[in-house]
Structures are given as C-alpha cells and as structure tokens.
Amino acid sequence: MKRLALAALTASALPTPTLAQRTPAPPPVMIPAEVTRLRDAALSDTTAWDIVEGLTTEVGQRLAGTEAEARARAWAVRRLTALGFSNVRIEPYRMPVWERGAESAEILAPFPQKLTLAALGHSGATPTEGLTAEVAFFSRMTDFQAAPDSAIRGRIVYIGNAMPRTQDGSGYGQYGTARFTGPALAARRGAVAIVIRSIGTDHHRFPHTGTTDFPDGVRPIPAAALAVPDAEQLERIAARGRPVRMKLVLTPRMVGLRESGNVIAEVPGSDPSAGIVLVGGHLDSWDLGTGAIDDASGLAITTAAAKRIMAAGQPRRTIRIVWFGAEEVGGLGGAAYAKAHADERHATASESDFGADRIWRFQVNLPASAAPIADRLQAALAPLGISRGRDKGGDGTDIAPTLALGTAAIDLNQSGWDYFDIHHTPDDVLDRVDPATLRQNVAAWTAMLAVVANAPESIDPVTNR
Amino acid sequence: MKRLALAALTASALPTPTLAQRTPAPPPVMIPAEVTRLRDAALSDTTAWDIVEGLTTEVGQRLAGTEAEARARAWAVRRLTALGFSNVRIEPYRMPVWERGAESAEILAPFPQKLTLAALGHSGATPTEGLTAEVAFFSRMTDFQAAPDSAIRGRIVYIGNAMPRTQDGSGYGQYGTARFTGPALAARRGAVAIVIRSIGTDHHRFPHTGTTDFPDGVRPIPAAALAVPDAEQLERIAARGRPVRMKLVLTPRMVGLRESGNVIAEVPGSDPSAGIVLVGGHLDSWDLGTGAIDDASGLAITTAAAKRIMAAGQPRRTIRIVWFGAEEVGGLGGAAYAKAHADERHATASESDFGADRIWRFQVNLPASAAPIADRLQAALAPLGISRGRDKGGDGTDIAPTLALGTAAIDLNQSGWDYFDIHHTPDDVLDRVDPATLRQNVAAWTAMLAVVANAPESIDPVTNR
C-alpha cells in the first residue's frame, strides 16, 4: 500500500449542497456511446473476482523476494497469457530480502500475560531466547520525541499515536510516523526494542505489519506492532502506575539478495506515437494475509478493465498492465520499471493500490492539451457515484518514479474509511473483498481507459509535479 | 460457554403481531416501586464494567487449572471482598489440566501456504516435528459419518459443517457436533488428525477453540479448528480437484492434576428457610483471548446486580454469587459446587454465560407455588425490551448439576446473534463488550433479583426437569 502524501488532504473537494449550488453547472460534455456501453457492461464483470480469488487461493501470501512471490509471477504470466494479452513477460531485478521469524510478546510484570504482535519489515532481531526490559510509554509520537534520552536508553519503547479514520486515507501518512521513523529514532536514542500500536483503525486482535526504515549507520533494533486491543491493554496496564516488564522474541532476518520482478502485459494500440497508458498494482503482499485487498484487488480491477477494452477492439493507445514486484518493502519494482522504461513515452499512469471499496473521486494531473479528457472523465464517471476532486492526481508508490519522469496521472480513489481496518493484517484475505464494489471499480477503470486510451487529444508530459 | 440444548429452539416463542393480537392481554400485575427504582438506577451501573475491565486487564486469560486461573481466584476474592459481600471464600477441587503447545498448519501441495488454526481442548499432539498426510474433505458432519473408513484411515480429516447465526444460539448445539464428537469418531476410524471449520459465525481469521472429548479407550488424535476464512480457503483449494497434503504441528499436553476452585460470595438474607438465590458465571476462560464476553461479563453482570440489591437493604433470601472454575473444559466447578452444597436449599439458580449483548427474553422453570413471580418478572422486565418465553428455563453448564437436584430456574437470555463471532477466539477481549448493553444486562438482573429475592411466595423444588 502506498504512503499517502499530506497533499492528498482534500476534504474540501467534497462539494456540499450549498457549494454545489454556488458553482455554475459545467457545460454538458458528450461522451462516446461506446464508453457508456463498456462502463455499464463492466458492472457485471467476473474477471476481476476470478483474479483475486485465483491469486489468493492458488498462491496465497507472496512476500517480496521470496519463492512465494516467484510462484506468484509464474501464476501471473499464466493468467495474463490466458486472458489474451500481448507481450506478457517478467522483468526481473535483484533485491535484499527480509523474512519474518518467531514472534511473541509477554508482559512479565505487574500482570503476566501474552500480547499479540507482528514484526515490522526490516525489524532487527532479539536473541533466540528473547529480550526482557522495562517499557517506556509514549501515547503520542510527539511525547516520544520530547522525552529525554534517559527515559529511553535500555528500554523497550512503546508509542501509541492512535490513527483516526479518514475518507482519503490521509491519517496513514500523519500517524504512520510511529512506524516509519519511530524505530530508527528509538535505536539512535539507545532503546533496546520498540513496539508500537498498529497503524490501523480496527479494534480486532490483528497486528498491522509494514515496513520501517533503519538508515545506514543505524543498527536495526527489534521493532513490532501490537494489535490495537493489545496496545490498549498495555496502556491500561501502564495506567495502573507500576513498572511494566516485557519479554520480546522476534527473530526476523535479512536473507541476502534474491530475485524479484515485474510482470508486464499489453493491449497494443494502433498509434504508438500517442504514448502508453500505464495501469496496474502490485503483485507482492505482506506475509500475514493473502493480500486480497492489498493488492490482488488492484491487479484484478485494472486487468479486468484492460481486458474489456481489448475485447471491444484495438484502442488508439497501447495499454500496458504492470503487476509490480516488491512494493511493500520499498517500491523496488516501481523503481526498476521506471529505470528500464525511461526512454518510452508514457501518456498517463494510474495505479490501484487502495483496496476495492467504492471509488468516490477521481483526480488528474493532465497537461493543458488534455484538459477535455478530464471533462469527459467527469461525465463518464458521474453515473458511478464518482465526483471530481480538484487536487493534483498522481498517487501510488509503484508509479511514482514513472510520474517523476513527467508522466500525466489519473487517479481513481477508493474510500479509505475501512481500508486500514484490514491492510497489512492477517485478515487481508478474500473474505474482505466485496464483489459488488469490486465491480464498481472495474466499471470505473473501464470507463477511464475507454476515454483515455482512445482520446484524440495529445497527452503531453507534465512538468508541475 | 454453555452448550445449548436443542430444547432451547424457541423461535415460536417470538410473538408475531398477529399472535399477539390473538392472545388476550394478561391482567395488570403490580410490581413494588422499589423494583422499578432499582432496575432503572442500574442503567447507570459502573460496577459491572469495572469488573470486566479489571479482570481482563489485571489477569487476562485464565485457562482452567493453570496458575493464571489461580491468580484470577485471588483477584476475585480481593474484588468481592472490596465490594462488601459476605462469606467470600474459595472452594478448591483438583482437576486434570490440558495446556496448549505450538500450533501451525501448512498446505504443502498443491498450493503451499500456511493456515491459521488452534488446537481444541483435550487435543492429542503431533510429533514435535509435525505430521504430514493427505486431507479427506467432508463439507458436513453427515458426509463424514457416511464415508467409508477407507476414506478416513491414515488421513487428516477435514469437517466443514458451517454454523448459521441464530438469535438463541441454538446453532451451536446442532453444528457443534463436528467439534464435540468429530475428533473421537475420526480417531476411532483411523484418522491421524482432524481439522474442523471453527464452530463460529464470523469471517475473520480467528480460530475458535473449545473442548472436545475423547472417551476412555479412544486415544486422542491431534484436533484443531481452522479460522473460518482458512477453512473456506482449504475448501476452495480442494475444489480444484488435486490431492491436498497438509502438515500439522500441534503439541498440547495434559500436565497432570492441578488445583482449581469456585469463588463464592453472599448477600445474607433475613429468612434462611426461604432458600438461596444462586447467581453467577464462570471465572475460567479459554486461553486465546481474555474471556471478556466468556465469561467475565457474566460474573460482572450478576455481581453488580447483587451489589445493588445489597445496597438497598437486606433481602429476604440469601443471594449467593458463584464464580465457577473450570467451566470451559467440562463444567468441573459446577459439578464440584453441586456436590458440596447438595444439602442446602436453593430457591432458584440463574447463570449468565452468553456474553453481554442485549437481553431479549426470559424463561423460567418455577413450581406452581411461585407462578406469580414469573408474572411480576414479566412486568418488571418488559420496560427493558425483554419478553417472556414459554419454553422451560434452566440453562447454563455451571448450574446444571444444581438444577438437576430440583432447583427452580430463571434464565435471562442475551441475543446470540453475534455471540459466536467472538466466543473462544483471540478476539474475546474488552473491545467486544458494549458498555450500554452491559448496563441493560445489569438492570435486568437487578430487577430479577429484586423480585425473586424478596418474593413472599414459597419457591418449592421442581421435579419436571
């Protein structure tokens, strides 16, 4: 799952009735009947469900760089070929691989009991027999930052930093700092380990994993996330006012350089000079669930939409589907792709990596030459309950390096209200995907591709990233 | 949590508007103003929440016969004493103790992946290094029963037997057979192990544990429950038509005889000859969660209600609160209690062991001498949204041996609609308790005790169990 930039905070883009009344109605925009037909037919799509069901059942978890991710690539090639796409291929690269080990947490005093947690990606390890220390409590990241080193040295640091729900997922970027930078800061300040409250919004006993970063020169310490109920349990225990001693066993390890790769498939266009329309998501998942919403759904939605365009006849622009590798552990697939394809002309790039809940908004970053495309998108997407946001589009870890080359962007935003109940947890499995909203997603992406891939306008590079 | 008898199937007790119109209105029943006052004041109760929060935070899980259950008894004595009850004491007994070990499940072929599961109470063990075999699939218990032994011998048996939701929880008794008797049957027929779909109604990745029974002469085999999403994953994989090989590691063990006990407290009544009003729940819990709904809530509800009666002045009948031990593993505390107290006169017995969702119904098993009490209960409970069921009351594993001695029964039934989403899972923690419905429970139990403990009628033994 992508990290959302703070710039994505766009509550103001949700028109209130009053605002809508103040805004003059836009001139009517005609969209081709074919766009409407393709969009509406996609509401009966079954291809996307088949991809999510197949990948999560026949492969399951697929942590970046592992043999499971390799099996997923082989599965991807078979499935994309069977669907009739052209130029199906794997573009491999090598990467350092982190693997989970044993993990347990136990309060030894004052109230002995086990807690549920999961190591963060790139966590250091405790000794095999575990590590015991007193816990230093910080309800918020800012409390941790303000504390003296003496309160941290030799301790297991706990950071709460409870994340609220938001429609656009922007809470993740703000409250995720406890995970993104907390462990390295704790290591620098002499903590022996760190446990954080999961960066998630649910109240079930599922820990949320996710990557953290120890910069060069900072020795990784054991770093893990407690399930939210367990974090709150620990806070309740701490509130009793007696010192809390905790034993941690976390034995993940870096296993060296391994092969990963991007899987690519295409719908060749009739006009190679018009640029490539890049769509996709990421093939790797975290290892706790089967990555059904993060991000089998994104692969499924974008691929099912592309197949519908292909079946309707050759589009003007080539549609390139990329199932990126190694997103979760640092966007390695997206970086490898941009490097390998820097010389190609991309018209637009769009990624689906925010689950499969209802798409409620689209946003673009298009050059002036392509302004009418956004108006047609607005007309084509409105019947699906999708409104136009006025912030700049361009979201997605995997496509970020390609966007940075000057590629225009079109984002279709799923609701983030429930997304962080699930993502990066053991509960990210097929049961969490709603077939009805999955079909709404396919319809939206189909409409988008029908408009963009066949747009007569030139889609020039954008410079205002 | 109690096993619900099939006799509890009482959908017909839910009056439809038509039926209600056909039934003549009962004559108005007067209830003492004090009952109304106590009931309504209990809607602001905080004692019950404090008990649930305290026990689950300061003790956590408390598996029967373990040192954790012993810590829970010590906690109980402190808390019941602090609340002002009389005759607070532990009545110990000894019991054979089963403890969980390592547990993991892995599909080796055709699609390698791990599954989430938990051993059932009294499960046998695999070798330390695990056990690998082909899986024999049975969607329903009846399919398993009908299959030839040749399809079972040497296999890991899988039984689905998906349990539906019901208001009264009756699905548990019907569909729980896969857990109650499936393992022993599979062992007798030569299976090397058994995994069942959890006897639960949720779709999260929480396995539901619970006890099973291997009769004398049947050697226990490894027996575990898959989380529902994992069971459905296994079924999807099996539906692909290729043999499924599974590796199981389950290393629970019987650790010998240990001490357990019931914790008892009383509100002494003014008329010892009127019989004891017995209320309570069970102190032990399964080991995966902290037993917040099963059954810290039951202890809390009944105890908070008794405290309110105590605070209002001495009742006619002694109210005895029992926090039973070792319910989950076979009702050992309830049996020990009935044996130790067989010579005492109990007027009524009532247990709360079905969570803390809203109470929707009450049912009784009262002698003719006490018929007016049920009418007063109906009048007192109706304002809380509680209707009268016409089946015979008498539910609860812990009180069953006492009821069998001829004790009258009064049941207050919580909704079971969501109960089996949680019970016996790691998710049975404080977060699952709704403070508002907990207070409705306390109000109902307070009203019941206010009516029954002070009833002028004689409550004779009942014989029609």
Question: Is-cis flag, bond preceding B401, omega within 30?
Answer: no
Which residues of chain A neighbour B242 with C-beta distances below 8 Å? none
Contact B204 A203 (CB under 8 A): no
Q: Are B280 and B351 in contact (CB under 8 A)?
A: yes
Residue ranges per structural domain of chain B: 27-98+256-453, 101-251
Contact A253, A123 (CB under 8 A): no
pLDDT score at B17: 44
Banded pLDDT at B11 (limits 50, 70, 90) = very low
Question: Which of the residue ranges A18-27, B32-41, B332-341 would you say has the lowest mean pLDDT?
Answer: A18-27
Interface pTM (ipTM) of the complex? 0.91
Rounded mean pLDDT, B72-82: 98
Among the partner residues B53, B57, B233, nearest to A111 by beta-carbon distance = B57
Question: Which residue among B53, B111, B429 places its CB closest to the CB of A205?
Answer: B429
Interface touch A61/B114, C-beta < 8 Å: yes
Residue B277, H or E segment: strand B276-282
The confidence score (pLDDT) of residue B356 equals 97
Share of chain B above pLDDT 90, in %: 92
Q: Which residues pair with B94 in a beta bridge?
A: B259
pLDDT in tens, B94-106: 999 999 999 999 9
DSSP per position, A299-317: HHHHHHHHHHHHHT---SS
The pLDDT assigned to A24 comes to 60
CATH architecture for segment(s) B27-98+256-453: 3-Layer(aba) Sandwich (3.40)
Burial class (CB in 10 A: 0-12, 13-18, 19+), A202: buried
> How many angstroms away from the CA of B57 is the closest CA of chain A?
6
CB A435 within 8 A of CB A358: no
**pLDDT for A23:** 58
Identify the contact set of chain B against chain A, taking CB-CB distances under 8 A. 53, 56-61, 68, 71, 111-114, 116, 203-206, 228-229, 232-233, 236-237, 240, 289-290, 426-427, 429-431
B464 pLDDT more than 90: no
Run of H or E residues at A192: none
Closest CB from A59, A71, A431 relative to B229: A431
CA distance, residue A425 to nearest chain B CA (Å): 10
User: Block means of pLDDT (10 residues each) for chain A, length 465 residues?
Assistant: 39 42 67 97 98 98 98 98 98 98 98 98 98 97 97 98 93 92 97 98 97 96 98 98 98 98 98 98 98 98 98 98 98 98 98 98 96 97 97 96 97 97 98 98 98 97 76
Report the top-level CATH class of A101-251. alpha beta
Q: Per residue in B246-282, pLDDT tens? A: 999 999 999 999 999 999 999 999 999 999 999 999 9
Tens digit of each residue's pLDDT (9 = 90 or more) over B406-432: 999 999 999 999 999 999 999 999 999
Residue B2 confidence (pLDDT): 46
C-alpha angle with apex A240: A239 to A242, nearest 5 degrees? 105
Instruction: Classify residue A385 by its DSSP letter.
Output: T
Distance between CA atoms of residues B416 and B412, nearest Å: 12
Chain A interface, mutation test: which of B57, B116, B198, most A Cβ atoms within 10 Å? B57
Helix runs in A157-242, H state only? 170-175, 177-180, 182-188, 228-239
Span B351-367, average pLDDT: 98
What CA–CA distance (Å, rounded) separates A286 from A394? 24
- Sort out which chain A residues have CB atoms less than 8 A from B236's CB and list them: 53, 57
Confidence grade of residue B29 (pLDDT, cut at 50, 70, 90): confident
Looking at beta carbons, which residues of chain A come within 8 Å of B114? 60-61
CB atoms B290 and A431 under 8 Å: no
Which residues in chain B touch residue A289, judged by CB atoms under 8 angstroms apart? 205
**Residue B42: exposed, middle, or buried by beta-carbon count in 10 A (0-12, 13-18, 19+)?**
buried
| Among chain B residues, CA nearest to A111 | B58
**HSE (CB half, 13 Å, CA atoms) of A424?**
30
**Residue to substitute from A49, A235, A429, A434, interface B, most B β-carbons within 10 A:** A429
Whole-angstrom distance, CA of residue A389 vs CA of residue A410: 11
How many Å is the maximal CA-CA distance in chain B? 72
Contact yes or no for A327/A284 (Cβ under 8 A): yes
At residue A163, the pLDDT reads: 94
Residue of A nearest to B113 (CA): A60
- Say whether pLDDT at B41 is over 80: yes
Tell me if A113 and B206 make a contact (CB, 8 A cut-off).
no
Homologous superfamily assigned to A6-97+256-453: Zn peptidases (3.40.630.10)
Q: What is the pLDDT of residue B463?
A: 78
Q: Which of A59, A229, A233 sits opposite B111 (nearest CB)?
A: A59
**Contact partners, residue A157, CB within 8 Å, separation at least 6:** A135, A136, A138, A144, A182, A186, A191, A193, A194, A195
Q: Which chain A positions have a beta carbon within 8 Å of B61's beta carbon? A: 113-114
Please give the mean pLDDT across all residues of chain B. 94
Q: Encode pLDDT of B288-305 as tens digits.
A: 999 999 999 999 999 999
Quick check: bond before B252 cis, omega within 30?
no
Residues of B in contact with A237 (CB under 8 A): 57-58
Residues 6+ apart with CB under 8 A from A361: A10, A13, A168, A386, A387, A388, A389, A412, A413
Q: How confident is the model at residue B330 (pLDDT cuts 50, 70, 90)?
A: very high
